[in-house]
Amino acid sequence: MSMHPAFFFPGQGSQSLAMLAELAAVHPQVRATFDEASETLGRDLWRLAQEGPKAALDQTVNTQPVMLAAGVAVWRVWREQGGAMPSVMAGHSLGEYSALTCAGALTFEDALRLVAERARLMQAAVPDEQGAMAALLGLDDEVVIALCRDQALGQVLEPVNFNAPGQVVIAGERDAVERALDAAKAVGAKRALLLPVSVPSHCALMRDAAAELTARLEQTELQRPSIPVLHNVNVATAESPEQIRAGLAQQLFSPVRWVETVQAVAERGVRLAIEAGPGKVLTGLNKRIDKRLTTLPVFEPDGLSHALEASAHV
């Protein structure tokens, strides 16, 4: 059994107005991290995260750098408070950039610029209203895979987030996604709903964006991380900067294999995980994935204290 925790970083969808406000009131490192990010990108990310408007915070081009800053801020507070070094890290989609930054593979400044460009490319890849994502609940993975194949009818339609048993997100062209919603209900899905996102992430519609991101990644200095980071695309660690670049580019049009990631962490003997960032999305998913792993969310002072105490007694 590992005596060190895992660190998980949430991605797009975990953002909320006034995120990390309570933690920032106690730990100046939070605001300092956001100030650094704001200076790098030339926009006030802290004000956006605190005051919105929510519609602006939820825009991909804003959400991604805000969530990166949030993950790094929580990590810095954790280390400042003497929190245990993790044995492994992972991030859900965008959260992978937070993991790589905190593991030392990327500088914070480079990560911010990369994520801002990633968001811009993703937003530009598909015209408004032509792509969509939807969550299907209560269906086996194999059923969702077959459903996407059957309902594509020549369009792009793919399972893209394997988030938990019985919870899969699909993405693709809007018409195909809407067909899949009707088909999912017909085969017994407990819920099938469109997600309020502007970009159909992790499907083939992102291939052009990935090609352009590859060029940007080639210009970015990367190091081998000091802490192992499990990548979304293959649930494996990268042994070189070239492998990291390839994984990040491929991630844009490949499924997020979150169930396998959490299972792989538990198989390493890890029994405690920290969700570093706003909300409890990953905490909720992880409970359904592997009962051996306890995940504690850290986004406010009480949660931080609880997690620090728990990690000291693992």
Tens digit of pLDDT for each residue in 273-297? 999 999 999 999 999 999 999 999 9
Catalytic annotation, pick one of 14, 38, 87, 93? 93
Q: pLDDT tier at 197 (50, 70, 90 boundaries)?
A: confident
Alpha-carbon gap, residue 246 to 16, rounded angstroms: 31
Place of tokens 């459903």: 147
pLDDT at 239: 87
Residues with Cβ within 8 Å of 299's Cβ and at least 6 positions away in sequence, in order, are 19, 20, 23, 70, 74, 277, 278, 279
Quick check: 267 pLDDT over 70? yes
Catalytic annotation, pick one of 27, 92, 202, 231? 202
Alpha-carbon gap, residue 136 to 281, rounded angstroms: 16
By CB atoms closer than 10 A (0-12, 13-18, 19+), residue 187 is middle
User: What average pLDDT does range 159-182 have in this prediction?
Assistant: 98
Average pLDDT, the chain: 96
Query: Are 282 and 8 within 8 A, CB to CB?
Result: yes
Cα-to-chain-centroid distance, residue 236: 16
Whole-structure pTM value: 0.97
Percent of the chain whose pLDDT exceeds 70: 99
Cα-Cα-Cα-Cα dihedral of 274, 278, 284, 285, to 10°?
-80
Quick check: 254 pLDDT over 70? yes
Q: pLDDT tier at 248 (50, 70, 90 boundaries)?
A: very high
Alpha-carbon gap, residue 70 to 66, rounded angstroms: 6
Q: pLDDT tier at 159 (50, 70, 90 boundaries)?
A: very high
Query: Are 139 and 191 within 8 A, CB to CB?
Result: no
Active site (annotated) includes residue 231: no
Active site (annotated) includes residue 202: yes
Quick check: 1 pLDDT over 80? no
